[in-house]
Amino acid sequence: MSHLSAGCRILISLLVLVGSVSSAEKLTIERMFSSPGLSGASLRSPKISPDGRLVTYLLGKSGAKGQLDLWAYDIASGKHRMLVDSAQLAPAEQAMSAEEEQRRERQRISAFRGIVQYYFAADSQRLLVPLGGDLYVYNLSAAPAEAVQRITATPEYETDARFSPGGRYVSFVRDKNLVIHDLQTGTETAVTQDGGGLVSFAMAEFIAQEEMGRRTGYWWSPDDRHIAYTRVDESPVEEVERFEITADDINVVKQRYPVTGTPNVQVQLFVVELENPDSSVEIDLGSETDFYLARVDWFPNSDMLAVQHQSRDQKTLTLLAADIVSGSTRELLQERATAWVDIHDELVFLKRSQQFVWASSRSGFRHLYLYENSGRLVRQLTSGEWSVIGNGFTPAVKGVDERHGVVYFMANTDSQLERHLYSVSLSGSRPQRLTPPGGWHSATLSEDNRVFLDRFSTPDHPQSVTLRSITGESLGILIANDLDDEHPYAQYLDEHLPTEFGTLEASDGQTLHYQLIKPRNFDPDTQYPVIVDVYGGPSSQKVRRAWGSSARSNSGFFRQFLAQEGYIVFTLDNRGTGFRGVEFEAALYRKMGTVEVEDQVAGAKYLQSLPFVDAQRIGIFGWSYGGYMALMCVMQAPDTFAAAVAGAPVTDWRLYDTHYTERYMSTPQDNPDGYAASNVINHVDGLQGDLLIMHGMADDNVLFTHSTTVFKRLQDLGKPFQIMAYPGSKHGLLRFPKTGPHAYAMVKRFFDQELGQILARP
């Protein structure tokens, strides 16, 4: 077991970067997607067992990085071992149900196969493993031949499975109904039976999964006696017909897609007692039926629910306490904003006192507050011009040590380009950083808050994984990921180029962060073409002191590849992007496509002022919101951008979904001028440069219609452009091993043709 400090490992890695590698090779797009992954070993979904003895994680096979197996690291011995081989347990995976396919797409894990999720029981001896549409329980204390128990074997697909808090039951959704499996008796109980068609139980609807970060529709009480669950009726939602065009077939899919300004689903919340599953209590969520059920939690004593209720206009977020016997609710607190109130996962109830931790942006930055369970504010715990940060998949608050009165959380206190784990006293104190300085950290705490997993990377070092004491001391390195001769990226180190960071000033005086990669063999007397890598949408951040790629994304390697091929690669986080406070983020409110474009144009004009930039050869590339930005930039600033690649772009916000669009734009009825100004169609006549539009032909997030409407308008105006459509592909096609390499190759080929390539190589 290695015990090098994080600083020593980084220093060694940097020395390797500037040293020589005997078998240096050129980075290629094909290699970016092949196995083993260039970022080295990558732990997905790491968890510390409830008893603190094991660290479990998902790891891709050496020859198939997208096929995940379940592994464990024994903290005492420092040894790794495979627990479940996905290929042996289910050699031929069952075709996914539509619900499971959509659920994985919403979680951005659709490119993975094998074991993609797993869950610990409270006894730390059992793990629940969904695989191939069925459910398995792995017993850590059993003999190897008896370790795996299959608990379902049905033609239907069981989704959103988990243990009950006490570990006696496994719950899941099958055919839109909630089912409970008793592990002691082996019997199943259907909690609901009326699901089907447009009605589903215990399932998060499309909007909840895609835009609200709520990926479940049911919640166990801590004492195992009750379950809260949703009933969702999609009938009010307008039916949208879209084509799913594959290589050899065309299907008309009728999708209930809640377009901005139109009705949403109707959501009800019920509570059922397991001993009396035929009788349920509906929770009173108020007379207003047009709202969002944002979050549901249980009070520690299991007698009440905590329900986060967001208004349709998203200007209020109300925390309700719900009595599970009567169904009545009362307001604990309410957050209000002139623009919008963000949903978050920072509600943590304390078990030793009648209090909870809450997050709010009422000060202009998201911070933590301590409340009595009655709703009375006790004190603000953190403050300053920085933000407590969750990412929509994991909460910012990583743990609360009630015995010592300490909260552990992630934030950008040290730098807006970094993430660190901090601690703060429940009585109020200055936050203390627990992770080593520099770079990008993510943390997973043990249940007893004594140790944590620190996943850490920098722009020049892929993610390492270290087990640390709660004070930050290294207890062992699970993955050093040093860039030595054995690392998959070693043979490309001679070509690796450093990332430079800098700032610009927006027109309103706010600071904008950028990063830049210069070509290999950079000559300051040569003028180079530039590719701007853009996203620019809300709650995003591309400029950060982190390794650029991961198991889910090759974007960092693609930036390296472009720079190695002779391009300057530039990325800027414009106003409206995330984690910078209310004023910075709300700059685009009711006017998307304005300040973001203004800032990206300012970034390009800064580039044009540099002597080593060819001002006539600046291109821009983005996907999703980045595709929208690429279109708006090349059309609104034709003298600045010579070419653009727009992938899966939103082009008309009237065609996008309710929760996302209305949060930033209100409704088309309320803000017609804002919608008109943000519509790509109304800027098409400004196109002078070259344009490539790419889109998956089965995209159920940004529908293919967004691109086809622009195709027609461009054709009507006689504007030349290029199209690359992907049959059968959805929104995340860049992540897949077949479509991803082709799409990236098309981007490179397009810019070579339209900007003219200057090779950095002799």
- State residue 104's pLDDT score: 63
Give first-to-last CA distance, the chain, whole Å: 43
Residue 312 lies in a domain: no
CA-based nearest residue to 232, from 180, 286, 207, 268: 268
- C-alpha 222/C-alpha 203 separation (Å) is 20
Question: Could you give the maximum distance between any two Cα atoms of the chain, in Å?
Answer: 79
Residue 329 lies in a domain: no
- Which segment of 84-93, 305-314, 318-327 scores lowest on mean pLDDT? 84-93
Domain with 649, as residue range(s), is 501-756
- State residue 484's pLDDT score: 94
The percent of residues above 90 in pLDDT, for the chain, comes to 82
DSSP code at position 95: P
Residue 567 lies in a domain: yes
Residue 156 lies in a domain: no
Encoded tokens for 20: 């020589």
Residue 241 lies in a domain: no
349-384 exposure pattern, b = at least 16 Cβ within 10 A, e = fewer: bbeeeebbbbbbbeeebbbbbbbebebeeeeebbee
Confidence grade of residue 66 (pLDDT, cut at 50, 70, 90): confident
CA-based nearest residue to 399, from 442, 449, 472: 449
Rg (CA), the chain: 26
Residue 634 lies in a domain: yes
Give the mean model confidence (pLDDT) for residues 164-189: 97
- Which segment of 27-36, 236-245, 576-585, 708-717 scores lowest on mean pLDDT? 236-245
The percent of residues above 70 in pLDDT, for the chain, comes to 93
Q: Which residue has the tokens 């595709």?
A: 627
- C-alpha 460/C-alpha 342 separation (Å) is 33
Give the mean model confidence (pLDDT) for residues 95-108: 64
Encoded tokens for 165: 């808090």
Residue 674 lies in a domain: yes
Cross-strand pairs, 690: 643
Encoded tokens for 276: 């009396």
Give the mean model confidence (pLDDT) for residues 339-360: 97
574 contacts 514 by C-beta, under 8 angstroms: no
- pLDDT tens readout for residues 210-250: 999 999 999 999 999 999 999 999 999 999 888 788 888 88
Confidence grade of residue 19 (pLDDT, cut at 50, 70, 90): very low
**Which residues participate in catalysis according to the annotation?**
624, 699, 731
CA-based nearest residue to 713, from 688, 682, 691, 690: 682
Structurally, the chain folds into a number of domains equal to 1
Instruction: Please enumerate in sequence order all residues whose Cβ is within 8 A of that of 467, keeping only pairs 6 or more positions apart, or say none.
Output: 55, 75, 451, 452, 453, 454, 474, 475, 476, 477, 478
Confidence grade of residue 106 (pLDDT, cut at 50, 70, 90): low
Q: Write out the DSSP string of 551-565.
A: SS--HHHHHHHHHHT
Residue 675 lies in a domain: yes
- State residue 632's pLDDT score: 99
CATH of the domain at 547: 3.40.50.1820
476 contacts 3 by C-beta, under 8 angstroms: yes
- Identify the helix (H) or strand (E) that includes residue 372: strand 367-372
CA-based nearest residue to 534, from 417, 603, 620: 620
705 class by beta-carbon count within 10 Å (0-12 exposed, 13-18 middle, 19+ buried): middle
Cross-strand pairs, 68: 60, 114
Confidence grade of residue 10 (pLDDT, cut at 50, 70, 90): very low
- pLDDT tens readout for residues 504-561: 999 999 999 999 999 999 999 999 999 999 999 999 999 999 998 776 688 999 999 9
Indicate the pTM of the whole model.
0.92
Question: In whole angstroms, how far apart are CA 454 and each of 73, 81, 270, 444, 464?
Answer: 14, 20, 39, 7, 8
Confidence grade of residue 96 (pLDDT, cut at 50, 70, 90): low
DSSP code at position 198: T
Residue 602 phi/psi, 5° resolution? -60, -40
